[in-house]
């Protein structure tokens, strides 16, 4: 087979291609925005919540492969977004987008992806792609969508090769809020939708490295008035809000890169003695602040079925996860102990300080999508705050 044959679409109606940095090619059919997009190609095993996943800021810089074949079956709506616009760079699905069948649907997923400038490809063997990622790690890749089926594949391969990858990349600055925001919305209910916190018990400052809205709702649901501040907010500006507790949010990219500006601030926050709770990137940044190390995972954890064991109670929680970096447990100091581990691969999923009211977890306890087994962590944080205030 010649290069011309390899780089030519196998059928006349082909309108999209996914090209990986090593030259692997998947032909398919495009949807969303025409054009191309480059990022790290990962996979998510969730069978629900595609809209929440696509709008999770932790997916900045990534192209998401959905292993569940039927994507689009509940449509999209204004209530299930986790940030103002999609953070993911593109999406890969097996079948053509399913027509919506839900009383909550407001738009077709194909219409929503085009409106939000997402480039998508369907009709490829997502099982084959997932096996590739499991064996080789998450690669750089490019999705190109052109209705005329004309593609410069060698140029797309070069584009994938030239993209620097997530290691060493600070993406929190790209997805954080630009200014402070007050938050008082609570969790969604089928009958009433979202409600508003009326009688807060405490004030939490949430540092936004790419916070999901549902995390903020969960904080509010436990009784916290929340003030959300941008990722690079100074220690003095954070403390000017007179917080009762500090929350360090989820977010994308390499924690060591974000840590260049975040760690000096976190070091000072630790010294205040205030209760601190971190999730995902916030968890990794806390570990770095304590003197630990993080590393890039082979394929990462992304899905809503990840078993995590609480080593304090030995109970097992089924959790929602989305991360490509992890904390090195052997690098943690003596006064920081591991509280949770993944039962898939024994990686660190939670830490707590033995002398200070500080803890963090790798999983997303707010779910959205996913199980709510870990919601107790928000209540644990609020109990810490109330005990600290009483003391």
Sign of CA dihedral 213, 214, 220, 224: negative
Examine the residue annotation and report whether 280 is marked as an active-site residue of this protein: yes
Distance between CA 30 and CA 145 in Å, rounded?
A: 5
**DSSP codes, 188-237:** -BTTTBS-B--S-SEEEEEEESS--HHHHHHHHHTTEEEEEEETT--HHH
Per-residue CA distances from 338 to 232, 292, 306, 367 (Å):
28, 12, 18, 22
Report angle CA 251, 254, 256 to the nearest 5 degrees: 115
Set 122, 280, 301, 352: catalytic member: 280
- Which residue's structure tokens are 């929680």? 317
157: Cα within 13 Å, side-chain hemisphere: 10
* Contact predicate 278/289, CB 8 Å: no
Examine the residue annotation and report whether 107 is marked as an active-site residue of this protein: no
378: nearest Cα among 390, 391, 388, 364:
364
Query: What residues pair up with 250 in beta bridges, in sequence order?
Result: none
Alpha helices for 227-365 (secondary structure H)? 235-239, 255-271, 281-289
64 SS3 class? strand
Do you know the residue count of the chain? 391
Chain-centroid distance of CA 103 in Å reads 27
The burial of 344, by beta-carbon neighbours within 10 Å (0-12 exposed, 13-18 middle, 19 or more buried), is given as middle
58 SS3 class? helix
- Which residue's structure tokens are 């209910």? 189
Q: At what angle do helices 213-221 and 376-390 cross, to 10 degrees?
A: 50
141: Cα within 13 Å, side-chain hemisphere: 30
Examine the residue annotation and report whether 364 is marked as an active-site residue of this protein: yes
Q: Which residues are identified as catalytic?
A: 280, 364, 366
């Amino acid at each position: 087979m010649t290069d011309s044959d390899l780089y030519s679409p196998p059928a006349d109606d082909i309108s999209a291609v996914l090209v990986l940095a090593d030259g692997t090619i998947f032909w398919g059919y495009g949807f969303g925005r025409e054009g191309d997009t480059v990022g790290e190609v990962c996979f998510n095993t969730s069978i629900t919540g595609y809209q929440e996943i696509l709008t999770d800021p932790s997916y900045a810089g990534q192209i998401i492969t959905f292993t569940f074949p039927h994507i689009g079956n509940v449509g999209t709506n204004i209530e299930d977004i986790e940030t103002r616009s999609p953070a993911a760079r593109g999406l890969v699905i097996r079948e053509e987008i399913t027509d919506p069948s839900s009383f909550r649907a407001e738009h077709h997923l194909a219409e929503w992806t085009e409106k939000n400038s997402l480039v998508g490809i369907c009709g490829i063997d997502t099982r084959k792609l997932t096996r590739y990622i499991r064996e080789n790690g998450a690669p750089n890749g490019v999705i190109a969508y052109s209705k005329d089926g004309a593609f410069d594949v060698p140029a797309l391969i070069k584009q994938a090769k030239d993209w620097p990858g997530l290691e060493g990349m600070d993406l929190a600055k790209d997805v954080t809020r630009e200014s402070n925001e007050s938050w008082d919305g609570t969790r969604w209910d089928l009958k009433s939708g979202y409600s508003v916190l009326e009688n807060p018990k405490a004030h939490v400052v949430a540092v936004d490295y790419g916070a999901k809205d549902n995390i903020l709702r969960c904080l509010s649901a436990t009784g916290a008035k929340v003030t959300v501040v941008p990722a690079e907010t100074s220690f003095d500006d954070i403390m000017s809000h007179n917080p009762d507790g500090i929350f360090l949010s989820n977010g994308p990219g390499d924690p060591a890169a974000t840590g260049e500006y975040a760690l000096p601030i976190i070091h000072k926050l630790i010294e205040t003695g205030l209760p601190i709770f971190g999730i995902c990137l916030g968890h990794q940044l806390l570990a770095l602040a304590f003197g630990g190390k993080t590393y890039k995972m082979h394929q990462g954890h992304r899905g809503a079925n990840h078993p995590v064991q609480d080593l304090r109670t030995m109970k097992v929680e089924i959790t929602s996860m989305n991360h490509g970096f992890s904390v090195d447990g052997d690098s943690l100091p003596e006064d920081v102990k591991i509280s949770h581990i993944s039962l898939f691969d024994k990686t660190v999923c939670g830490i707590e300080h033995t002398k200070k009211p500080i803890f963090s977890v790798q999983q997303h306890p707010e779910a959205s999508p996913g199980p709510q087994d870990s919601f107790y962590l928000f209540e644990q944080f609020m109990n810490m705050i109330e005990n600290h205030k009483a003391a």
